[in-house]
Amino acid sequence: MDGNAGYGRALSRAFGGALLFSFPLLMTMEMWSLGMAVERWRLLVFLLLTLPMLIGLSYYAGFEPTFRLKDEVLDALAAFGVGFLLSAVLLSIFGVLRADEIGTQSAIGKVSLCAVPAAVGALLAGKQLGERGPGEREKAEAGALGELFLMAVGAAFLAFNVAPTEEMILIAYQMGPLATLLLMAASIGLLHLFVYQLGFPGETRRREAGGFSRTFVAFTAPGYGVALLMSLYLLWTFGRTDGVAVHEIATMTIVLGFPAAIGAATARLVV
């Protein structure tokens, strides 16, 4: 089999992965209206940040320990393309994109917003569900910064699945200060447990950091910090923070920080 056929199969897998990762969002109403309503500068920043994120992810999810920029960039671009194509086709089938809308800013907004999670799925599936056995496969090792990057991607990805929905705001409105603190404690506790106690596969390297307090300060706290930052960034991107009082923004960030923390904790499972 030549390289083209092999790559074609990897590409098909990428479409599968994109579908798996993005269909919940493609079938969420808020994603469509946000695609139209998101402020253009924020959408632009979001799309521009996606490219380096995909390149980094391509490196960490890849098998080769060497960083070859050309490969990673090619893979990231192909994944982005898969994301765009898949979102455009599915949104058209769902009747979200109408024929008279093509080429307008609202159509581009809808497709590109959905293309981002699809591209992450495409990248992971194209890389991971490869034909080589799991024994042969060795993931690139990540340093402290790399771990933080992966946590950020995991946090962003899981948070992105729920961030567009009205429910995030509603939950924030319903929760009192005590419940907020409780949720925060639960997020941090789960993050710590998932990463350092339960020992999911792929988590081995992070568990030998010394005593509890050292691990907590050196790893769990930054992890939760990254999760909160990602939550705040997503809320801002979707315009959820505009004109909202600071304490309410804090509550929303903590609410969204819950899925984000779980995403950060389990990032290494997926990537």
Binding residues vs other proteins (CB under 8 A): 1-4, 6-11, 14, 33-34, 36-38, 40-41, 43-44, 47-48, 51, 62-66, 71, 73-82, 84-85, 100-101, 104-106, 108-109, 111-112, 115, 126-132, 136, 238-239
Q: How far is the CB of 124 from other proteins (least distance, A)?
A: 11
Q: Which three-class secondary structure string do you get for 146-210?
A: HHHHHHHHHHHHHHHHHCCCHHHHHHHHHCCHHHHHHHHHHHHHHHHHHHHHCCCCCCHHHCCCC
Given the complex with other proteins, which of 222 and 239 has the nearer CB atom? 239
Own/partner pairs, 175-181, CB within 8 angstroms, 24+ separation: 175/251, 175/255, 180/250, 180/251, 180/254, 180/255
- What sign does the dihedral 134-138-139-142 (CA atoms) show? positive
Given the complex with other proteins, which of 4 and 213 has the nearer CB atom? 4
Q: How far is the CB of 12 from other proteins (least distance, A)?
A: 11
Q: How far is the CB of 13 from other proteins (least distance, A)?
A: 8
Closest CA to 128 of 29, 10, 258, 30: 10
Given the complex with other proteins, which of 28 and 180 has the nearer CB atom? 28
Given the complex with other proteins, which of 66 and 213 has the nearer CB atom? 66
Given the complex with other proteins, which of 26 and 115 has the nearer CB atom? 115
Q: How far is the CB of 181 from other proteins (least distance, A)?
A: 29
